[in-house]
Amino acid sequence: MTNAVARLLDIAPAPSEPRRKDWDEVERSLEVGLPADYKEFIHVYGGSNWDDYLYVLEPGCPNENYDLLEWAQNQAEDLEDLWEFERKPTELEVEGARVIPWATTDNGECLYWLVRPGHKPDQWTVMVNEARGDRWEHFSVSCTQYLASSLIGELHSAILSSSFPRATHEFRQLGAV
């Protein structure tokens, strides 16, 4: 078990039923592998809501509003259109660099993996984009490290809500609506 997932288990107990995924199929659909810590996180927690604010996306999520595959496709298209009007963040100006969403918020901010040429999925870091603007932040940590460190107050985003994280954490696994 990764250190970050172990830290998350100290914050919120895992649901009783692990989520199983056909990761080969998911990765074929995305045309890229995914980080091992994210796969472990989804197995333990599934698509989930943290502190009634941050939603971790899951491939094939029972709540279709938080399906990783659909978000990845939609965000790729939306960002390509956006780059015609807004400047790309410096991290994305490298040829072949792109982002893939892994979480969102109830305000519409999006958290992405930064995918760079020559970097394996376990080397991907986190980018945060504000909901209705061109501000981006880069964090040199994995997605599970980002979540765990944010929840315990070791890491702070100037883009995400100042009310996140809460003093008393709430966790909810996403189910069908």
Q: What is the pLDDT of residues 20-45, one digit of tens each?
A: 999 999 999 999 999 999 999 999 99
Number of domains in the chain: 1
Residue entry with tokens 């809500």 = 161
pLDDT of residue 86: 84
Q: What is the mean pLDDT of the chain?
A: 94
Question: What's the DSSP call for residue 65?
Answer: G
pLDDT of residue 83: 83
- This prediction has a pTM of 0.95
pLDDT of residue 48: 97
| CATH assignment at residue 91 | 3.40.1580.10
Burial of 154 (0-12, 13-18, 19+ CB in 10 A): exposed
- Torsional sign, CA 2, 101, 171, 155: positive
What pLDDT, in 10s, does the model give residues 133-177? 889 999 999 999 999 999 999 999 999 999 999 999 999 999 977
User: What one-letter code names the amino acid at 134?
Assistant: D
Question: Which range of residues forms the domain containing residue 149?
Answer: 3-173
Residue entry with tokens 């288990």 = 9
The three-class DSSP label of residue 110 is: strand
pLDDT of residue 145: 97
Distance of CA 97 to the CA centre of its chain: 17
Closest CA to 56 of 74, 38, 40, 70: 38
Q: Are strands 54-56 and 136-139 parallel, antiparallel or unpaired?
A: unpaired
Percent share of the chain, pLDDT over 70: 99
Closest CA to 139 of 29, 131, 147: 147
Q: Where are the alpha helices (DSSP H) in 83-158?
A: 143-151
With cut-offs at 50, 70 and 90, classify the pLDDT of residue 82.
Answer: confident
Closest CA to 147 of 119, 111, 114, 116: 111
